[in-house]
Amino acid sequence: MKNKYIWMLGTWMCTVSAFTSCQDIVTYEEEMDDSEFVSTGAPVIEGVYTPDGMETPVTGADLGEMIVLKGKNLSNVTQIRLNDRKVSLSEVYATASRVYFPVPGEVPTDITNKLYFETELGYTTTDFKVIIPSLVVTGLYNEFALPGSDVQIVGGYFDIYGFGGENERSVVTMNGTALVVKEVTSTSMTVTLPNDISDNGSIQVTYVGTEGETVFNIPYRQSNSIVWNLSNPDGYSFWAGTSLITDGNNAGDPQALCGPYFRVKGDYSGWSWNNLLCGGFNLSEEVASNPSDYWLKFEVSSSKNTPFYDSATAGYIIQLNSGSYAWNPSSSNSFNTYGEWATVRLELTSVATNGLSAGWTNFFWIMQPNSDWTVDHSFANIRIEKKQN
């Protein structure tokens, strides 16, 4: 006897894992003998494949990826495990010769690199490695977020490591106190900062991965590293740009985070040379001798109507110790903070194209648009900060 069987692959992919892309729905509609679903003995796995590579077997797959088993006596599945994670049987489609199912999207706690397959007539195992990405922590979206506010921690794979929720396995702490995790996605998680914290601290992100427990230290408000105190600009030999300094109380100003900052607003013609804040500061011997150990950091804010332009090799030009570096945050994707503050991290060695020497160091912020620009951009807390982790 023949029956028509319809099975749909793909819709589950949109929910299994945020870091695997949603795949098109694939519908199998075919006439099959009932015998195709009959097993007569213990299961035998002859190979593991991906749906789009049924000719060449694979030895591993990513979390959330679809895989296919080929073999014998594979129907009437009762349990599938990869490491210690079970596959939901509602996501399994099995005939006697093939089985389709997704790799579980959760990180295993006991890694055996084995696939366990059980049916009503027996079980078998085969070597198979689930590829588990390590957590990526880039830092705070805004390192100078105010105490008591919500802030995003940005990076990758937060959603698979158990942050927040009833079954929390990974934690975010500050000064030994756990922070409330409010929202988690693959690329970020939002936490609430305590009200009683001070500058020059750090946030700890602790998780257990394939190599055991790992702790990331995220710097928070490293005000000791700021090179220009714009509350008292005397002493920095500013020869341009002091008229741009604001305390955050002018119309349209972003909220001040750590004292005054400078705001660039207006229409600028293409290829015009505009000296913004230009002066200098004393560079320490430690930084000059070990520039690869340091970041150049600052916070930026762009009005929602004036994102940062793709400026190629022009745009905002940072001149440090007579070197020249063109900062272009929109070279790949349009960068717009929509009136909020965002932290920029640049390798100091990349910015200091002319090297560094201890002592008085010229530091100029220039703008040279590569076309006619209308801007409303603010810059704050320019600092040379030692790397952590």
Tokens 């399994």 identify what position?
92
Place of tokens 């390798």: 347
Structure tokens, 263 = 């705001």
CA distance 384 to 287: 8
Residues 383, 228: Cα–Cα separation, whole Å: 8
The domain ranges of the chain are 2-131, 136-220, 223-386
Residue 36: the pLDDT is: 85
> Are the beta carbons of 84 and 99 closer than 8 angstroms?
no
> Identical fold at 2-131 and 136-220?
yes
CATH homologous superfamily, domain 136-220: Immunoglobulins (2.60.40.10)
Is-contact 222 383, C-beta < 8 A? yes
Task: Report the distance separating Cα 163 and Cα 193, nearest Å.
Answer: 16
Q: How far apart are CA 198 and CA 54, in angstroms?
A: 58
At 233, give phi and psi (nearest 5°).
-70, -10
Closest Cα partner for 157 from 181, 179, 180, 137? 137
For residues 338-357, b (16+ Cβ closer than 10 Å) or e, as one string? eebbbbbebebeebbeeebe
The class level of CATH for 2-131 reads mainly beta
Calpha distance 161→107 (Å, rounded)? 7
3-state secondary structure of 91: helix
8 A C-beta contact, residue 66 and residue 51:
yes
Do 205 and 140 form a contact (C-beta atoms < 8 A)? Answer: no
Which CATH code, of 2.40.70, 3.40.50, 2.60.40, 2.60.120, is assigned to 223-386? Answer: 2.60.120
Per-residue pLDDT of the chain (389 residues; tens, 9 = 90+): 443 333 444 433 333 333 333 343 344 445 556 678 999 999 999 999 999 999 999 999 999 999 999 999 999 999 999 999 999 999 999 999 999 999 999 899 889 999 999 999 999 999 999 999 999 999 999 999 999 999 999 999 999 999 988 878 899 999 999 999 999 999 999 999 999 999 999 999 999 888 888 999 999 999 999 999 999 999 999 999 999 999 999 999 999 999 999 999 999 999 999 999 999 999 999 999 999 999 999 999 999 999 999 999 999 999 999 999 999 999 999 999 999 999 999 999 999 999 999 999 999 999 999 999 999 999 999 999 999 86
Helical ranges in the chain per DSSP H: 13-16, 285-289, 348-351
Check if the beta carbon of residue 388 is closer than 8 Å to that of residue 334.
Answer: no
- Quote the tokens at residue 287: 């930084």
